[in-house]
Amino acid sequence: MSGQRVLLIVGGGVAAYKALELVRLLRKAGVAVRPILTRAGAQFVTPLSLEALCEDKVYQDLFALTDDSGMGHIELSRSADLVVVAPATADLMAKAAAGLADDLASTTLLATDKPVLMAPAMNLRMWLHAATQANLATLKARGVLFVGPDEGAMACGEFGPGRLAEPPVIFEAFMAALAGPAARPLLGKRALVTAGPTVEPIDPVRLLTNRSSGKQGYAIAEALARLGADVTLVSGPTGLAAPPAVKRVQVETADQMLAACQAALPADVAVLTAAVADWKPAQTEGLKLKKGQTGAPTLQLVETPDILATLSKAGAQRPRLVVGFAAETNDLEANARAKLARKGCDWIIANDVSQAGVMGGDENTVNLITHEGAESWPMASKAEVARRLAERIVQALV
Ligand code: CTP
Determine whether the shortest distance from the Cβ of 272 to ligand 1 is under 6 A. yes
Superfamily of structural domain 190-397: CoaB-like (3.40.50.10300)
Nearest CA owner, ligand 1 atom 14 = 308
How confident is the model at residue 370, as a pLDDT?
96
Considering just the CA atoms, what is the radius of gyration of the chain in Å?
25
> How far does the centroid of ligand 1 lie from the alpha carbon of residue 272, in Å?
9
Region of 339 on the Ramachandran plot (φ > 0 left; ψ -120 to 50 alpha; else beta) = alpha
Active site residue 156: yes
In this prediction the pTM is 0.74
Q: Write the DSSP symbol of residue 44.
A: T
Superfamily of structural domain 5-179: Flavin prenyltransferase-like (3.40.50.1950)
Distance of CA 258 to the CA centre of its chain: 20
Write the pLDDT tens digit of every residue in 107-140: 999 999 999 999 999 999 999 999 999 999 999 9
The domain spans of the chain are 5-179, 190-397
How confident is the model at residue 291, as a pLDDT?
85
Distance of CA 355 to the CA centre of its chain: 31
> How far does the centroid of ligand 1 lie from the alpha carbon of residue 276, in Å?
7
Distance of CA 64 to the CA centre of its chain: 40
How confident is the model at residue 3, as a pLDDT?
79
How confident is the model at residue 214, as a pLDDT?
96
Selected catalytic residue, list 54, 156, 261, 345 = 156
Q: Please tell me the distance from the alpha carbon of residue 362 to that of residue 358, in angstroms, as a whole number.
A: 7
Determine whether the shortest distance from the Cβ of 352 to ligand 1 is under 6 A. no
Write the pLDDT tens digit of every residue in 48-77: 999 999 988 899 887 765 554 556 777 888
Q: Please name which of 350, 382, 380, 381 lies closest in space to residue 366, comparing C-alpha atoms.
A: 350
How confident is the model at residue 322, as a pLDDT?
98
Determine whether the shortest distance from the Cβ of 347 to ligand 1 is under 6 A. no
How confident is the model at residue 198, as a pLDDT?
98
Q: Please tell me the distance from the alpha carbon of residue 280 to that of residue 272, in angstroms, as a whole number.
A: 19
Q: Please tell me the distance from the alpha carbon of residue 363 to that of residue 352, in angstroms, as a whole number.
A: 11
Phi and psi at 150, nearest 5°, equal -85, 165
Q: Please name which of 246, 249, 214 lies closest in space to residue 229, comparing C-alpha atoms.
A: 246
Mutating to test ligand 1, I would choose from 198, 212, 278 the residue with most ligand atoms within 8 A of its C-beta, which is 278
Asked whether this chain's domains 5-179 and 190-397 adopt the same fold, the reply is: yes
Which residue ranges in the chain fall short of pLDDT 70?
A: 1-2, 64-71, 293, 356-360
